[in-house]
Amino acid sequence: MYPFVMSQFLDEGLSARVFLRLLVEELFLDYKQSATILPGRTLHNDDRKNLAKAVGGFGNSEGGVTVWGVDCRHTQRGDIPTGPVPISDPIALKTLFDGAIGGLTLPAHSGVENLAVINQGSADGFVITYVPAGFHVPYRTLYPREEYYIRQVSMFWREFGKMLPNECRNLL
């Protein structure tokens, strides 16, 4: 079952008018723009890094949702979405994400789902990545470096082995 925030997006549909009242980034919600050039066969390194952090960080925490195609800025009021930056081909980006998921963390997180959402009347849209809390924690990112992340407030924080049992820390 999708979390409340994701079900709101699916019920209302993603469009420019919805972003006028979107939630700020928080523990379970993250916004990203995509740097991948579409159509294409390769996921941009920035998107691969952000997807790895989302899978590892949300998987090591209580789960969460990343909405791709949104400009979000840090302000005094929080991390506020400033507007949509629709993805030119959300189905193509979803396909690239699906192909990358298995190689982004160790162990691979089998519960991650990507959903392409097309704007009505156009071909562009958004991709929503749902990462449930993991069953096989801790998840270590494999790209760009091998690191552990958790989600705190509205950011992914590196955890240098703190999540591991004491007997495993000396192996790092």
Q: How far apart are CA 128 and CA 143, in angstroms?
A: 20
50: left (phi over 0), alpha (psi -120 to 50) or beta: alpha
- Per DSSP, 23 falls in state P
Q: Look up the CATH architecture of domain 25-169.
A: 2-Layer Sandwich (3.30)
**Cα three-residue angle 68-34-75, rounded to 5 degrees:** 70
pTM of the model: 0.84
How many residues in the chain?
Answer: 172
**Residue type, position 125, single letter:** G
Q: For the chain, give the percent of residues with pLDDT over 90.
A: 63
Instruction: Out of 19-28, 62-71, 129-138, pick the least confident.
Output: 19-28
The mean pLDDT of 129-142, rounded to a whole number, is: 94
In the block, residue with structure tokens 């549909």? 13
The mean pLDDT of 128-148, rounded to a whole number, is: 94
- Strand order across the beta sheet in which 155-158 lies: 105-106, 140-141, 147-152, 155-158
pLDDT at residue 18, as a whole number: 52
Q: Name the residue ranges covered by the structural domains of the chain.
A: 25-169
Condensed to tens digits (0 to 9), the pLDDT of residues 83-109 reads 889 999 999 999 999 999 999 999 999
